[in-house]
Amino acid sequence: MEPNVYTPQLAKIVQTKDEVVGARAIKTFRAEFVNSARFDYRCGQCAMLSVFGKGEAMISISSSPLIKEYMQFSILRTGRVTAALHDLEAGDFIGVRGPYGNGFPIDEWRGKNLVFIGGGIGLAPLWSVVQTALLRRNEFGTLSLIYGARTAKDIVFKDDLADLKSQMPVHLSIDVAEPEWNEFVGFVPTNVLEKKPSPANAIAITCGPPIMIKFVIKNLKDLKFEDEQIYTTVENKMKCGIGKCGRCNIGFHYVCKDGPVYSWAELKKLPQEY
């Protein structure tokens, strides 16, 4: 029987955790395949999650591929499918198909200093690389994270970030000052200029809303980062995930298949249609 790329495999949610509650709620899910199907993926790849009756959504896998027991997704509640996902608890079933996308070329970054720059839910795709880098710590130079959110309440993986501070410099920021906030106040791109990560033997990886990516790249260029040293993910609308349904393209690239990870050297050559 020919494999059917559109048929999801059933997975069971084993654990859920509320990262952010309220307006821009974010929830983290851990899921295991019902028939323990093989689903090996590379960090930065995504999976199409199904809530039957609602639809599908392309979500990046935020756990490291080196962790075999479960797969983790951190999801912002923003529409029909993601809201349905947020209503699910441990024991419920979802559909998962994939893995899709090219993922981060982490093996090419051996020996480099990795600078992670995230905004809002953008930390989810980055988290897979951060965890993998930590599990293969000796293969990389220095690691550092610059991450910002709209308000302190919106910060994702709060407790993970707390114990991440012991393993690498973590520079947090929020857009508008709040009473008991003592770290940087302002947008992430400005925080990048503030913290001035050094471009020497470095790779910068940035994920977040399109507007943030645009200015982070500009500021990294001002800090003399070369185009090949800057990587980002393009989060266009996706429905099929396999480069057929025609909607996620930038130029002749289908972001779901040929992306979503691009170095600025490659992305610069494509039409700025994301």
Partner 1 sequence: MEKTLAKKSFPQWIKKLGSWSVYIPRKDKEGRWNYVEADGGEVGLEVLQTTLPPKKILFPQREVFLEFAMTPAGGRETLEVKEVLPDVKPTVIIGARPCEARAAWLLDKVFGGEFRDVYYWKRRDQTSLVGFACTTPPSENCFCTSVEGSPHSEEGLDLLLTDLGDKYYVQSLSPKGEKLISAAKDLFEEPKPEVKKQVKAAHAESEKKIKRQLKDARPIAEKLKGMFGSPLWDEESMSCLRCGICTYLCPSCHCFDINDEIENSSPLRGQRVRTWDTCQFPDFTMHSSGHNPRPDKAARLRQRLLHKFQYFVQVYDKFMCVGCGRCITLCPVGIDIIKVLDKVRENGA
Partner 2 sequence: MANIEDLKEEAKKLLREGKVKYIIGYGAGTNGWPAAPLFIKKHEDVDKLVWNPTCVHNLVRFLVDEKRRKARQKQPDKRPVGIMVKGCDSRAVVVLLQEKFIDRNDVYILGVSCGKTGVVDDAKLSKKMGGKKAKKVEVDAQDRFVVTTEEGTVEAAAEELLAERCLECKANFPVIYDVLSGEKTKRPLDKPFGSLEKIESLSAAERWSFWKEQLDKCIRCYACRSACPMCYCDECVVDSINLAVTADTTADEKAQRIRWVQRSAESSENLIYHLVRAIHLAGRCIDCGECERACPLDIPLRFLNKKLEKEAKELFGYEVGFDSALPALISSFRDEDPQDFIR
Q: Binding of partner 2 at residue 247 (CB under 8 A)? A: no
179 binds, among partner 1, partner 2, none (CB under 5 to 8 A by kind): none
The yes or no reply on residue 271 touching partner 2 (CB under 8 A) is no
Gap between the Cα atoms of 140 and 121, Å rounded: 25
CB 258 within 8 A of CB 223: no
Output 199 or 208, the one with its CB closest to partner 2.
208
Q: Does 134 bind partner 2 (CB under 8 A)?
A: no
Q: Which residues in this chain contact partner 1 in the complex, by CB under 8 A?
A: 2-8, 10, 50, 52-56, 78-79, 82, 93, 95, 209-210, 235-237, 239-240, 242-252, 257, 271, 273-274
| DSSP per position, 77-128 | --SHHHHHHHT--TT-EEEEEEEES----GGGGTTPEEEEEEEGGGHHHHHH
By a kind-dependent CB cut-off of 5 to 8 A, residue 77 interacts, out of partner 1, partner 2, none, with: partner 2
We find the least distance from the C-beta atom of residue 87 to partner 2, in angstroms, to be 9
Rounded CA separation 247/105 (Å): 25
| Binding of partner 2 by 83 (CB under 8 A) | yes
Could you say whether residue 88 binds partner 2 (CB under 8 A)?
no
Of these, 17, 68, 80, 196, which contacts partner 2 (CB under 8 A)?
80
Q: Among 17, 79, 210, 269, which residue interacts with partner 2 (rule: CB under 8 A)?
A: 79
Q: Which does 249 bind (CB under 5 to 8 A by kind): partner 2, partner 1, none?
A: partner 1
Q: Hey, is 205 helix, strand or coil? A: strand
CA dihedral 21, 83, 129, 104 (to 10 degrees): -150
What whole-number distance in Å separates Cα of residue 190 and Cα of residue 204?
15
Among partner 1, partner 2, none, the one that 37 touches (CB under a kind-dependent 5 to 8 A) is: none
95 binds, among partner 2, partner 1, none (CB under 5 to 8 A by kind): partner 1
Q: How many residues does the chain have?
A: 274
Rounded CA separation 44/85 (Å): 21
CB atoms within 10 A of CB 237: 10
How many Å is the Cα radius of gyration of the chain? 18
Nearest distance, CB of residue 210 and partner 1, angstroms: 6
Q: Which stretch binds partner 2 (CB under 8 A): 3-11, 18-26, 94-102, 188-196?
A: 18-26
Q: Is 23 in the site for partner 2 (CB under 8 A)?
A: yes
Question: Is the torsion defined by CA of 205, 211, 216, 221 positive or negative?
Answer: positive
Residue 21 interacts, among partner 1, partner 2, none and using kind-specific CB cut-offs from 5 to 8 Å, with none
Q: Which residues bind partner 2 (CB under 8 A)?
A: 23-25, 77-80, 82-84
